[in-house]
Amino acid sequence: MIHAVSQSLIDVFTRWGTLDSWTLAVAGVCAVACSLVGVYLVLRKQSMLGDAISHAVLPGLALAFLVTGSRSVVPMLIGAAIAGLLTVLISQAISRVGKVTEDASTGIVFTAFFAAGVLLMSSGAARNVDLDPNCVLYGNIELVTLDTVKVPIGDSQIVVPRTFPALLGALAAVLAGVVLFYKELKITSFDSALATSMGIATGAVSVGLLAGVAGLTVVSFEAVGSILVVAMLIAPGATALLLTHRLGVALVLAAGLALLATFLGYVLAVAMNTSIAGMIATMTGVLFAVAVVFSPRDGVIAQAQRRLRLQVRIRSEDVLGSLYRLHEGTEAKKDVAAICRGGIGWLAQIRLRHWGLTRQSPEGLVLTEKGLRVAQHLVRSHRLWETYLNQKLGLPADHVHDPSERMEHYLSEGMQDEIQREIDAAIDPQGKVIPPPSNRK
């Protein structure tokens, strides 16, 4: 199987030609335009709007045919665009007036529009309109090079796929909107209340963005299909936001990831003789899955590393506290040994030796001078918090140990001093001496 796919990939690159380049160009332009808009949709939690619009355009197509009696491209696109824009506007109105969430209002409107479109298509003169559902879902990306137009360039003309100029215009409009309204889109996407207080018309910005999504969806789905449009409106933006928390970088990353998914999906689809749109959409999911695992900040591996570091740090400090109590004679050596057991305990010991806080002696693990100061800080935190809970919150002495065991890892010197002034005590509820402040360095 792997050998056959590899040989097919070699054949794809050796037979690469103009047709492949134009197909990739159409898919790539659409992918970049959708991915840029998608970043804002993901930030606003409106990612499924593209899917809603792709369903809601059906009554627009049917009405365009009923009014014009023609299935030509221009009236169909106009009807679809009007239906998509109405979906956005009515959804926004229902969300404001009906006091429902935006995703609920969008779901209500697009299902109603889709049902109305089905009724229109199945009644009267509209029964004669020939619409292929597979074309709407998967598009005609494999066949874009068969439907061409001549575009004048200077004194000459070039032959391009008929959908390419419209997609290129949509990309130019998206880029212009992002550049001209970058600040407004950024502020309204992160904090609409702040944007309103700054005098930004948040409603107008939202409607403009959603109207742009509607237009982009209508222009794109004829060429590449709604599946690919929805995938590109969601996956590259979501993937980019996993990799960075800076909006400008996310926009560039989303465009790059969309192009990468387009190229990989096209090559694999041709090699495996399967749907190009479906494979490109699949690759967007694969890239997202890779980011989920390997994202340097929010990935599964990064989160696991942070959890492990936190566990080792807390166990290390527990060991230090136990060694301090052993040093002052309030804890047995077997209790220290119990904390040092297990994989986390072993890593904690390595960490403590690395930082010069403990050393091995004939009697076992002991504190260094530096370790004694750090351990004194931890035990002081623990006993101060026990005393605070007992005096200020009225918790009994046998109920303050567990919360203090957790809190001791987070109290700074300043917080310790503040608590000391509040309680003004030298003995904790268990009758143990609260250590004096220590210089942890």
Q: What is the pLDDT of residues 234-255, one digit of tens each?
A: 999 999 999 999 999 999 999 9
Residue 387: CB atoms within 10 Å: 25
Q: What is the pLDDT of residues 85-114, one digit of tens each?
A: 788 788 878 877 867 777 778 788 878 887
236 contacts 281 by C-beta, under 8 angstroms: no
Q: What percent of the chain has pLDDT over 90?
A: 33
The structure tokens 């936001």 sit at 241
* 54, pLDDT greater than 90: no
**CATH tag for 303-423 (out of 3.40.50.150, 3.20.20.370, 1.10.10.10, 3.40.640.10):** 1.10.10.10
Least confident among 2-16, 25-39, 401-415 = 2-16
For the whole model, what pTM was predicted? 0.80
Q: What is the pLDDT of residues 294-330, one digit of tens each?
A: 998 889 999 999 999 999 999 999 999 999 988 888 7
38 contacts 269 by C-beta, under 8 angstroms: no
324 contacts 374 by C-beta, under 8 angstroms: no
Q: Give me the CATH code for the 2-292 domain, please.
A: 1.10.3470.10
One-letter amino acid at 5 equals: V
* 124, pLDDT greater than 60: no
pLDDT of residue 151: 77
Mean pLDDT of 419-439: 86
The answer for residues whose C-beta is within 8 angstroms of residue 192's C-beta and 6 or more apart is 202
Mean pLDDT of 435-439: 80
27 contacts 285 by C-beta, under 8 angstroms: no
The structure tokens 């890239």 sit at 287
Confidence of residue 128 (pLDDT cuts 50, 70, 90): low
- CA atoms lying within 13 Å on the CB side of residue 391: 18
Measured in whole angstroms, the distance separating CA 60 from the mean position of its chain's CA atoms is: 33
Q: What is the pLDDT of residues 189-212, one digit of tens each?
A: 888 888 888 888 888 888 788 778
pLDDT of residue 13: 47
Angle (CA) 11-17-21 rounded to 5° is 110
Q: Sketch the domain layout of the chain as residue ranges.
A: 2-292, 303-423
pLDDT of residue 171: 92
pLDDT of residue 134: 53
**Bridge partners of residue 360, in order along the sequence:** 365
Average pLDDT, the chain: 83
pLDDT of residue 2: 57
